[in-house]
Amino acid sequence: MKQKLKELLSDFRKNEKSIMAFNLQNSYQLEAARLVSKKLETPLIVQFSERYLRFLDEKYGMEYIVKQFSNNFTYFHLDHCIDLDYIKYCVDLGFDSVMYDGSAFNLNLNIENSKIIKDYASKKGCLVEGELGKVSGVEDGFGDEGSSYAEIAEIQKYVNETEIDLMALGIGNAHGFYSDLDGLKLDILREASLNLSNDQLFVLHGGTGLPDKVIREAIGYGVVKINVSTQLKKNTMDILNLYLSKNELYNEISFSNMMIEGLSSVFEDYLIKYTK
């Protein structure tokens, strides 16, 4: 039987582990995620940016994708989104969690919209992730280069009023590759975890390029979901380039095997490090 995501993440909070949430774009990545989670009997989150969800939905139909690439260890999530109707659509599809990212709005509007989604999603057993403080960088068309740090008083107000399940904080983290980590303030996460109830669940965005030491410290402050996107895009390109360098003619079977094997080992490394 599949464990409820909330229960699973609450256990992770106690045991200082984290689920990995991978932003996926194609069926090779989806298949690799499904195979690895089954092989290791370890949960992971398949998450989609709004842009890719719309793309995959149009091409194959999301109901098919969820059915085809699910097992008892895979959970489905909508990443950053501000379109309330679209978020509700994902809740109705049976997603395990959705993100309403109102971090670019003022606090009151962010709270107001988060509450609308929380109310809608909770009735259907779906978790909601919110964000305060802006993670910089553009991810599949969402966001911009601007960033801001989450403030403790605002985090407390937001969490108390929304009863959000998962809290993502802008702590100087960024989507894409980091040029340096000078702006990273893990202290915000530490303080937030000290000031909120000790079962509050946190999310770390911008997982690509964060050193192991940083990720482990963040897990110690209550991070139970780590998002990785850019690294997978890079791995996918590397496998593609390797295939091109080794073959003159395209062969879907050998290409697909190489892609799925290569990506599986990437997923496996993360799962063994932070989840298993």
Taking the C-alpha atoms of residue 273 and residue 27, their distance in angstroms, rounded to an integer, is 24
Instruction: Assess 229 for contact with ligand 13P (CB under 6 A).
Output: yes
Q: How far is CA 196 from the centre of its chain?
A: 22
Tokens of 1: 């039987």
Pairing of β 19-23 and β 127-132: unpaired
Residue 70 vs 231, nearer CB to ligand 13P: 231
Which residue of 77, 134, 175, 225 would you call a contact of ligand 13P, by CB under 6 A?
A: 175
Residue 157 vs 216, nearer CB to ligand 13P: 216
**Minimum CB distance to ligand 13P, residue 161 (Å):** 24
Residue 118 vs 175, nearer CB to ligand 13P: 175
Under rule CB under 6 A, which residues in 59-88 are in contact with ligand 13P?
79-80
Instruction: Assess 230 for contact with ligand 13P (CB under 6 A).
Output: yes
**Minimum CB distance to ligand 13P, residue 147 (Å):** 13
Q: Which residues of 27-51 are buried (b: 16+ CB within 10 A; e: fewer)?
A: bbbbbbbbbbbeebebbbbbbbbbe
Tokens of 26: 């194609």
Under rule CB under 6 A, which residues in 189-228 are in contact with ligand 13P?
205-208, 227-228
- Residue 206: name the closest of 240, 238, 183 by CA: 183
Q: Which residue has the tokens 């996918």?
A: 236
Q: Interface with ligand 13P by CB under 6 A: which residues?
A: 23, 79-80, 139, 175-176, 205-208, 227-231
